[in-house]
Structure 1
Amino acid sequence: MSIPVVTVGDSRDDLVGGLERLHGPVSVVRRCSELAELLAACQSGLARAAVVAAGGEELTASLVDRLSAVGVVVIALTDSPEETARLRTIGVAAESRAVEAAALAARISAAVAQLSGTGHRPGRAGSDDASSLAAPAVGQVPRSSGANPATAGTAAKGRIIAVWGPAGAPGRTLVAANIAGELAAEGQSVLLVDADSYGASVAALLGLLDEAAGLAQACRLADQGLLDADALLRIATTVATKAGTFHVLTGITRADRWTELRAAALTLVLERAREIADVTVVDTGFCLEADDELGFDSGAPRRNAATLRSLELADTVFAVGAADSIGVPRLVRGLAELRTAVPQAAPQVVMNKVRTSAVGRSPERQLRAAWERYGPSAPLTAFLPSDPAASDAALLSGALLLESAPESELRRSIAALVCAPAQRNKKSFVFSSTAERRAKG
């Protein structure tokens, strides 16, 4: 069966004619004058492959992701090594303008077969050569296993921790920011990402200026295929504490900027984050709806794409809920939604703001008993005590708990979530007691 192909730009007539004279592998069904016409033709189901001979500089990761979603592979013709590298980064296979018709037809056939069989797209960065078709697509994500990716591949890569929780301010941002601080104090390189598309607040919690949305800038460069490790580090804000330093990608400054956080671009940002940081901590939004009812265009931006994609890509997901009569039912319902939206996620459930005044005597025991009786299959992993005085002091000073309240039980409980036991027991400035520090003078 012949593969329908659309082209855009002034490709060589002998190339298009050569494709037609092959009588079988591919068939050119339309020659488009501009990229918008090609996109419309592909989304109408007219073609399975698109050959871009001109206008390749207008291709973005989001556009390529839209084409991939309707089963269309993109192959661009260029003789520029720099443009070839950029195109491969956003998921476009690149061929020389002097390519022979038979070679181009074979490349198209292989790419279409690969996309149909596995959902993968050709030409992604990281392939060994230009003919490799085995790299995953921008819009495709691997199944989360909870394991550190550094142990699975030949090149060491950082892991991603996503902190999620249902509506109602269960304390996602406080937990995410302090996890980042504790890991940095442990000596790891850390990137904290604010991916909440409803109420980004990492910058405010850390006392940072939020005029520039770091994550939006990174997504914009990633969408164009221009985000490398150095660019990501330049965009990120450096936060220095007494115990360690980490980087932050601040969130969007207004809720109506959520369209800048597209799934394909965010995927590339988090891929780069794995390269520059041992751990990337993502503070996500609460909503898990797929937004399909918001529009008829399946390729349109999705309000919750940043949250869903972060959870899909995460190696570890912490589900944070408030330990009270409102927060617990919300968390139970939220975990059911999470299981439906991101079935590969295996969340570690964290009860936050635990206090006897809201739960009764022996709050941890009562919460465990209620969870075992009414809660979902995911077990409770940790309990974070309510400590409004320590939390307020940290917020007032724009600092983390390890600085403003290093001996608080809340801070110690958050550290216990992510830090190695050996490191927690070390007699360092961060983890030693007040008495030990006084003894040292």
Structure 2
Amino acid sequence: MSIPVVTVGPGQEDIVSGLERLRGPVTVVRRCSELAELLAACQSGLAAAAVVAEGSGELTGTLVERMQAAGVSIVALTDDPLEASRLRSIGVVPAPPAIDARSLASSITDAVDSVQDRFSVQTVLHAGFSDAVSRAPVRAAATASVTTAAASGAGRILAVWGPAGSPGRTLLAVNIAAELAATGKSVVLVDADTYGASVSVLLGLLDESAGLAQACRMADQGVLDDAALDRASLEVFTKSGSFRVLTGTTRADRWIELRASALSKVLERAREKADTVVVDTGFCLEADEELSFDSMAPRRNAATLRSLEVADEVIAVGAADAIGMPRLVRGLAELAQAVPDAAPRVVLNKVRRSSVGRSPRKQLGEAWQRFGPTGDIEAFLPADSEACDAALLSGSVLLECAPDSALRLAIARLVCADFQQNRTSAGRSTRAMRLLTR
């Protein structure tokens, strides 16, 4: 069966003539004058492949993903080795401009087979775009990526998620990064919250540009390497170590810059560079947003969903009170539906006697057994407003401003398997117990 092909570029005439003389493997169904026309033809289902004769510099990762989601593979002609490398990194098959028609047809066939293997024929609405690939292929690709990363000795991605209502996602993510860095691990902290990015505020970083948005732009263009990632991120130093931060968007209306395909590449690049990538996600898991239901518009929750999809580990945090607990229970049900393989570690934050009653851990545990989903609560993080206020006021982490606080010690025990309490003074133990049962 002949493969329908669309072409674009001033140099397409010779290509079309050569392909037509083959009379077999491919058929040119439209000659486009510009890339926008080619994109429209591909999205209409007219073609299974596109040949970009000139102007490959206009191709981005987002554009390629949109075309591949429509089942269209792309072959671009270039004789620049650097451009060819960039094209390969965003999923385009490069070929020399002087390629003969038979070899070009073979490249088109291989590219089409590759796209069909990668994406399912059935498409539903569960990725960064409304026409994007189904969750099964996305999850399969994410799983394959995780397996490859583990085999090559690369790092892991840890996503911190929680429902609406400020359960403490950012506080937990920031201090997890600090605790891991204190053990000697290389850590990259990513602020992927598209509703209220606040990592830079919590750490007192006077950064007017969004580091994650910069990294996503470079990833979309296929030029994100280790040096570029370093330029986009900031290094935060503590007394026990340092970690790098990709700051979030400076305004909530800039969420469109965090496209799912580009964010995937950023997280994979960060994983290759660091032992652990800690992602502070947003709260919302809705994928069926009204404004993008029938369009190719990007989705605001794509950054959160993609972060959870590619994460090796998910920590779900909820507030330990009469409002936070039901929200967490409902949120975990939504998470199970949105990302079935997430298997989150459940953490209750802000545990205090005044909001739960006597013996708060016992009360919360019994309530969870009755109303919560399958699985136990892994950690109870005590409320410590004084330590949190001190950290926010000084723009530092708990490890620096309140190293002996019960909250800091609980976070360290949660993420550091080899964490040891070096000092066991009765005064500190008494204070920790008092904070936990306050």
In the alignment, structure 2 segments of 5+ residues that lack a partner are: 121-136, 427-438
Matching residue of 2:27: 27
Amino acid at match of 1:56: S
Indicate the residue corresponding to 1:324 in structure 2: 321
Structure 2 match to 1:409: 406
Q: Write the distance in 1 (CA, Å) between the matches of 2:307 and 2:374.
A: 22
Deviation at 1:16?
1.7
Farther off after superposition, 268-277 or 13-22: 13-22
Residue 214 of structure 2 corresponds to which residue in structure 1? Answer: 217
1:208 aligns with 2:205: yes
Partner in structure 2 of residue 432 of structure 1: 422
Contact 2:158 2:279 in 1 (8 A): yes
Query: Counterparts of 1:147 and 1:82 in 2: how far apart (Å)?
Result: 24
Query: C-alpha displacement at 1:18, in angstroms?
Result: 2.4
Match of 2:384 in 1: 387
**RMSD value, Cα:** 2.0
Name structure 1 gaps, 5 residues minimum: 121-138, 426-430, 437-441
Q: For 1:98-147, what per-residue CA distance to the aligned partner results, in whole angstroms no more than 9, with x for missing partners? A: 22222221222222223223329xxxxxxxxxxxxxxxxxx945466799
Deviations 1:136-166 (A, max 9, x none): xxx945466799757742x221111000000
CA contact (8 A) 2:197 2:250 kept: yes
2:164 aligned counterpart, secondary structure: coil
TM-score relative to the length of structure 1: 0.89
Check 1:150–1:178 CA distance in 2 against 1; reply closer, same or farther (3 A cut): farther
Instruction: For residue 194 of structure 1, give the secondary structure of its aligned residue in structure 2.
Output: strand
Aligned to 2:339: 342
Secondary structure at 1:175 match in 2: helix
Give a deviation string over 1:222-252, Cα, whole Å, max 9, x none: 1111110111012111100001011101100
Change (3 A) 1:274 1:299: same
Match of 1:439 in 2: none
Q: Deviations over 1:3-61 (max 9, x none)?
A: 11101003353432222232232111001111011001111111111111111000001
Counterpart for residue 86 of structure 1? 86
**Pairing 1:111–2:111 present:** yes
Which residue identity is paired with 2:41?
A
SS in 2 for 1:197: coil
Query: AA paired with 1:110?
Result: D
Partners of 1:320 and 1:395 in 2: CA distance: 20
Tell me the secondary structure at the aligned position of residue 79 of structure 2.
coil
Q: Output the CA distance in 2 between the equivalents of 1:72 and 1:99.
A: 21
How has the CA–CA distance of structure 1 residues 375 and 69 changed in structure 2, closer, same or farther, with 3 Å as cutoff? Answer: same
Matched, 1:96 2:96: yes
Count of residues in Structure 1 that have an aligned counterpart in Structure 2: 410
SS at 2:355 equivalent: helix
Deviation at 1:295?
2.6
CA distance in structure 1 between the aligned counterparts of 2:358 and 2:194, rounded to whole angstroms: 38
1:37 has 2:37 as partner: yes
Please give the alpha-carbon distance, in whole angstroms, between the structure 1 residues aligned to 2:353 and 2:373.
23
1:191 alignment counterpart:
188
Name 1:235's counterpart in structure 2: 232
Q: Distance in 2 between the 1:44 and 1:156 partners?
A: 42
1:77 counterpart residue number = 77
**CA separation in 1, counterparts of 2:253 and 2:239?**
36
1:210, distance to aligned residue in structure 2 (A): 3.1
Question: Any idea what SS the aligned residue of 1:111 has?
Answer: helix
Q: Which moved more, 1:387-396 or 1:18-27?
A: 18-27
Quick check: 1:149–1:157 contact (8 Å CA) kept in 2?
Answer: no
Amino acid corresponding to residue 85 of structure 2 in structure 1: A
Aligned residue type for 1:401: L
* Residues 73 and 111, structure 1, Cα contact 8 Å, conserved in 2: yes
Structure 2 distance, partners of 1:435, 1:377, is 37
Following TM superposition, by how much is the alpha carbon of 1:299 offset from its aligned partner in structure 2, in angstroms? 2.5
| Partners of 2:8 and 2:54 within 8 A in 1 | yes
Q: Distance in 1 between the 2:103 and 2:358 partners?
A: 74
Alignment of 1:263 onto 2:260? yes
Give 1:293's aligned amino acid. Answer: E
Whole-Å separation in 2 of the counterparts to 1:382 and 1:150: 30
Q: Quick check: 1:34–1:55 contact (8 Å CA) kept in 2?
A: no
Structure 2 CA distance for partners of 1:146 and 1:48, relative to 1, 3 Å: closer
Whole-angstrom CA distance in 2 between matches of 1:87 and 1:145: 24
Corresponding letter in the other structure for 1:394: A
Change (3 A) 1:72 1:211: same
SS in 2 for 1:320: strand
SS in 1 for 2:190: strand
Aligned equivalent of 2:134: none
Indicate how the Cα distance of structure 1 residues 146 and 361 shifts in structure 2: closer, same or farther if over 3 A, else same: farther
Alignment deviations for residues 399-440 of structure 1 (CA, whole Å, 9 cap, x no partner): 10111110111101101111122xx12xxxxx533869xxxx
Q: Which residue of 1 aligns with 2:8?
A: 8
Query: Corresponding residue for 1:62?
Result: 62
Work out the CA distance in 2 between the residues paired with 1:297 and 1:65: 17
Question: Structure 1: how far apart are the matches of 2:87 and 2:145?
Answer: 30
